[in-house]
Amino acid sequence: MRAWILPAIICMTPFFLLGGSLNPALAMFVQNGTIEDNASQVNYVNLWTTCTGCAPATRNNSYRFSTAAGATAAIRFNGSQIDIYGIRTPQGGVITISIDGKNPRAVNTYGATQTKALFYRSSVLTEGPHTAFVVNVGRSISPSTGTWSGFDRADSYREILDSPSQPHRSGLPWLSGVNGDPIQQPVDVDAFCANRGSPCDLSQVFVSRDSWQNMVEPSWTEQNFAGWPGRLVISVPPFPETPDTSLQTCATGAYDAHWRRFGQTLNETGRQNSIIRIAWEANGNWYKWSGSDPTAYVNCWRHVADAIRSTASPDPLLDWSINAHYSQNPASHNPLDLYPGDAYVDIIGIDAYDHYPPSRTQAEFDQQANQTGGITWLYNFARQHGKLFGVGEWGVVSGNDDNGAGDNPNYIQFMWDWMRERADKGFYYENYFNTCEPPNVGSNLFRPGDPTHCVFQNPQAAVRYSQLW
């Protein structure tokens, strides 16, 4: 899957392009064209000047620049994504860039020295003809001394859909699975999926969190599923939940040797094709690795990712997952402040339960899904960064508290419709989380009730799930 690797960058702030180097991202695109500044696909409005042989050097030894407010370069292209390159300069001004005239994004083109730069990467577009508009807005931000803007070239891409060479066991266009309930073992996974009427592609499993031995050495997590034909989604903390561990220590690389051992464990147990959810739900406040220190969390995550990749062969897919809706951490309450970066993440994911707030109607579902921390909001971020998207955990909520909608077949339907709409558009996998022991979310769709262990039943949601899956 890394055959189609592109650098990823996006302007996330109103006026400043994010700094730093361009990192590779798992994005299934192939380049289908380059549009230079002198190409016939570019139409210039108002005064633009050709600069030939000017510094910095460009591919075709040329670029265009303007200083006038309203000067516009209209770039016609075919494809599903475009990168636009320009020139940073001490006189750089503010430009806006939009696709087909929609949702213009402001970019500051100031630079301490005159250099080429990637100014803009579009979100994933509908495949076909589009026009990108680059507009000089005629102003600048200190310390810039002018309103100069330069256009060098644009590269266009078309998306390669993730169509498996072999059909998924579930028959669905995405990978579908469940946690082992009540025990992480194939018999419980297979029983749930037989009950729904289609085999599982995935089993969601968790390592023990009490020692390095139980986390990174071959354990029941991998051994229970020896020979099972599906793939594992393995949730791993960045360190054991013991008094002597911390995010800050992890961020120094002190635990790298343990994670190199984990990569070897994947090799030894034949589970290199697993999805590894590292330090999940750090935007909450219930785990020791919660992101109250975003810098330490990000650097810790990066060390874990690099160490696993250094020994696992081939690399597993590394998943960064948040908890849906409100973020207790970090202090900004924006979970994207915990994002480790495109070079380290293969899948962006979410754990989405029907609570805080519940979704009894389509309007309620759409509202929470599009808000910060919602499933659609995060999916759009993943698409903008060329990442696959996953739903590591999801389910109805009958237990735990009074904030769930209970036996809500509508939520099952809403999630199904959401997934179907994004099938073959970067949506990669989902796991239903089935549990009926208190105190928990009470998402059970399968196990028969008993007053000691299996307290929560959701018969209406169970019927709808089996009908759809």
The Cα 80–Cα 95 span in angstroms is: 22
Q: Of the candidates 293, 265, 261, 264, which has an alpha carbon nearest to the alpha carbon of residue 279?
A: 293
Dist. CA 147–CA 139, nearest whole Å: 5
Amino acid present at 207: V
How far apart are the C-alpha atoms of 406 and 355, rounded to whole Å? 9
CA 274 from centre of chain: 17
**Residue entry with tokens 């499933």:** 375
90 C-beta neighbours (distance < 10 Å), count: 14
3: CB partners within 8 A, 6+ apart: none
CA torsion, ordered 101, 26, 433, 323, to nearest 10 deg? -60
Nearest CA to 47 out of 62, 63, 66 is that of: 66
Local structure of 303: helix, strand or coil: helix
What is d(CA 415, CA 443) in angstroms, rounded to the nearest whole number? 14
Length of the chain: 469
Distances (CA, A) of 321 to 58, 238, 283: 39, 13, 9
Region label for 187, one of left (φ > 0), alpha (ψ between -120 and 50) or beta (otherwise): alpha
Q: Which amino acid is at 103?
A: N
- Selected catalytic residue, list 222, 281, 364, 437: 281
Dist CA 377 CA 363 (whole Å): 15
Is the Cβ–Cβ distance between 92 and 108 less than 8 Å?
yes
| Distance in angstroms (rounded) separating the CA atoms of residues 469 and 467 | 6
Query: What phi and psi values does residue 141 have, to the nearest 5 degrees?
Result: -125, 130
Q: Which amino acid, residue 412?
A: I
**Radius of gyration from C-alpha coordinates of the chain:** 24
Clarify whether 281 is annotated catalytic: yes
Assess contact for 33 and 80: CB atoms under 8 A: no
**Active-site entry in 127, 393, 421, 437:** 393
336 close to 283: Cβ distance less than 8 angstroms = no
Catalytic residues: 281, 393
